Amino acid sequence: MRIDVLTLFPDMFAGFLGQSIVKRALEAGVADVRLHNFRRFAQDRHHTVDDAPFGGGPGMVLMADPIFRCVEHLRQEVPMAPLIYLSPKGEVLTQRLAGELALMPSLMLLCGRYEGVDQRVVDHLVQREISVGDYVLSGGEPAAMILLDAVVRLLPGALGDEASTQEESFSEGVLEYPQYTRPAEYRGWRVPEVLLSGNHEVIRRWRRESARRETQSKRPDLFGAQVRMEASHE
């Protein structure tokens, strides 16, 4: 998968792209992440990318022209890549949405700054707005990293064990069951005996019920949605 990131601060991605699963995915050719500073597409000698908002108000707004020129340049290589704008106004990123995006051959991510982008970019260039949560960040770069991590780890070959992505929180609409490792007893606290039984069917049922209890306790909103979905399939 090719992912083009449009940002005024490409250096922010250096540490993120050079570590862990994303780094391995890049080295293996599973993902190809390219960073583009759209400031270089500004036409004036000062490479201006922002200006004061029409109508007055605080802050600055990213101008349409440098972004349009950058995207039009990239579309010569990836004409079908949807442009995603990381925005608090967008649909909230979920595991299901990450899985949907992971099926696409290419993506473009636009990182906003300041008071946002000229609305004409959203109206005539952006195919999708995505939010990583109901809070405000200084810019779209951290949000883009979250989306990148969520999507890249789902690509075939990104993880050593493909089954692990199927058992994680949210993959089946519930939180993940509790996990334990050695030693079996630590400071008087023992691992549940069922996990030491060797009976895989009993362990599977325990994990399923534990996941449901975790979800009901910590995320009742998810639990209610899961119950309604199960009821609709009966």
Greatest distance between any 2 Cα atoms in the chain: 71
Do 14 and 113 lie in a common domain? yes
On whether both 133 and 77 belong to a single domain, the answer is yes
Instruction: Quote the pLDDT of residue 160.
Output: 67
Task: Express each pLDDT in 99-115 by its tens digit.
Answer: 999 999 999 999 999 99
The domain that contains 206 carries what CATH number?
1.10.1270.20
159 domain-assigned: no
How many structural domains comprise the chain? 2
What is the C-alpha to C-alpha distance for residues 155 and 59, in angstroms, rounded to an integer?
39
Residue 76 in this model has a pLDDT that exceeds 70: yes
Q: Which domain holds residue 89?
A: 2-152
In whole angstroms, give the CA distance from residue 108 to residue 221. Answer: 31
**Of the candidates 57, 35, 70, the residue with the CA atom closest to the CA atom of residue 114:** 57
Same domain, 68 and 120: yes
Torsion of CA 168, 200, 158, 126, to 10 degrees: -30
Domain assignment present for residue 223? The answer is: yes
Range with the lowest mean pLDDT among 34-48, 101-115, 178-192, 211-225? 211-225
Residue with tokens 């899961």: 226
What confidence category does residue 163 fall into, taking pLDDT thresholds of 50, 70 and 90? very low
- Whether the per-residue pLDDT at 18 is higher than 80: the answer is yes
Give the pLDDT confidence score for residue 223 in this predicted structure: 78
* pTM to 2 decimal places: 0.86
> Do 20 and 67 reside in the same domain of the chain?
yes
Question: Is residue 110 assigned to a domain?
Answer: yes
SS3 string, 31-55, reads CEEEEECHHHHCCCCCCCCEECCCC
- In this structure, the answer to whether residues 107 and 212 fall within a common structural domain is no
